[in-house]
Amino acid sequence: MRSNRGRITALILIALAGVLLPALAFGQAPTIPKLTMELAAGQADPAEVSTLLEILFLLTVLSMAPAIMLTMTSFTRIIIVFHFIRQAMGTQQMPPNQVLAGLAIFMTLVIMMPVGKAVNNTALQPYMNEQINFEEALNRAQVPIREFMFKHTREKDLSIFYSITKEDRPQTKEDVNTLMLIAAYTISELKTGFTIGFLIYIPFLILDMVVASILLAMGMMMLPPVMISLPFKILLFILIDGWNLLVGSLVNTFQ
């Protein structure tokens, strides 16, 4: 085995030497190709510069797409509730994280579909048809998104960030900074998700207490109550059609 490894290592070294030695023999060091982007001074068309900046902005938005999805849509509340239901049932990693995340993403697409249609009709399509410029399209796209976030943001959460930044309180919704609105919306979603999770925990906690009391009365103190209550939790969740009830209730909270 060692001799075979030695032969493989020797072959790799010989191959590397065959690639590098010819360049070194002619006094040339092996170089790595570089990719550069230049904008010649005095020869740049303002339209080309504007298009380049728009492309860079779109690339930046795409790189931040996961964070945008987490903070500006219904995904946060849904994924928190899903994890609470799994912990309350005590099924450990069932359903897996990938399944819960995938279901949360598709539910988010369904819930945010009216907002997406409004953005497409008022901002994206006019911009693609060259009816409006990029700045106006961006301003139009913010309107339905801001309306959605305002609907589910608590005024108390929004005032926290104005207290931190010591800025003047807005008189109308149009005066509210979008960044502060996103932060306040995220906090509101966290609170709502934890509130729903607490309500989900109560019936399963009662079932755990009943099973633990029965085992204690029977003198079976060495038997973990979770092992006995888990099948009953799953049976209860199936009998009430838990996933249908949970998904429907979550969707209705955004109506």
* Burial zone of 21 (CB within 10 Å; 0-12 exposed, 13-18 middle, 19+ buried): exposed
Q: 46 pLDDT band (50/70/90 cuts)?
A: low
**For the chain, percent of residues with pLDDT exceeding 90:** 0
175-214 burial, b for 16+ CB within 10 Å, e for fewer?
ebeeebbbbbbbbbbeebbeebbeebbeebeebbeebbee
Question: Rounded mean pLDDT of 192-212?
Answer: 84
Q: What's the distance, Cα to Cα, between the start and end of the chain in Å? A: 67
> Would you state the pLDDT for residue 45?
54
| 3-state SS assignment for residue 14 | helix
Question: Rounded mean pLDDT of 27-54?
Answer: 53
> Would you state the pLDDT for residue 157?
81
Q: 9 pLDDT band (50/70/90 cuts)?
A: very low
Residue 50 CB: number of other CB atoms within 10 A?
A: 12
Question: Rounded mean pLDDT of 70-86?
Answer: 85
Whether the pLDDT of residue 78 is over 80: the answer is yes
Whether the CB-CB separation of 79 and 104 falls below 8 Å is answered with yes
Whether the CB-CB separation of 152 and 189 falls below 8 Å is answered with yes
Q: Which residue has the higher pLDDT, 19 or 193?
A: 193
Highest mean pLDDT among 9-13, 14-18, 56-60, 161-165: 161-165
Q: Which residue has the higher pLDDT, 20 or 211?
A: 211
- CA–CA distance, 180 with 163 (Å, rounded to integer): 11
> Would you state the pLDDT for residue 10?
46
Statement: the pTM of the whole predicted model exceeds 0.85: no
Whether the CB-CB separation of 96 and 235 falls below 8 Å is answered with no
- CA–CA distance, 141 with 119 (Å, rounded to integer): 5
Nearest Cα to 85, choosing from 221, 228, 225, 250? 250
- What is the H or E stretch that residue 9 is in? helix 2-25
Q: Which residue has the higher pLDDT, 219 or 35?
A: 219
Phi, psi dihedral angles at 47 (to 5 degrees): -65, -40
Whether the CB-CB separation of 250 and 106 falls below 8 Å is answered with no
Residues of the chain by 3-state class (helix, strand, coil), percent to 5: 75, 0, 25
pLDDT digits (tens, 9 = 90+) for 213-251: 877 777 777 767 677 778 788 888 888 877 888 888 888
pLDDT digits (tens, 9 = 90+) for 112-124: 888 888 888 888 8
Q: 211 pLDDT band (50/70/90 cuts)?
A: confident
Domain boundaries, the chain: 64-201
Whether the pLDDT of residue 160 is over 80: the answer is yes
What is the 3-state secondary structure of 40-51?
A: CCCCCCHHHHHH
> Would you state the pLDDT for residue 236?
81
7-20 burial, b for 16+ CB within 10 Å, e for fewer?
eeeeeeeeeeeeee
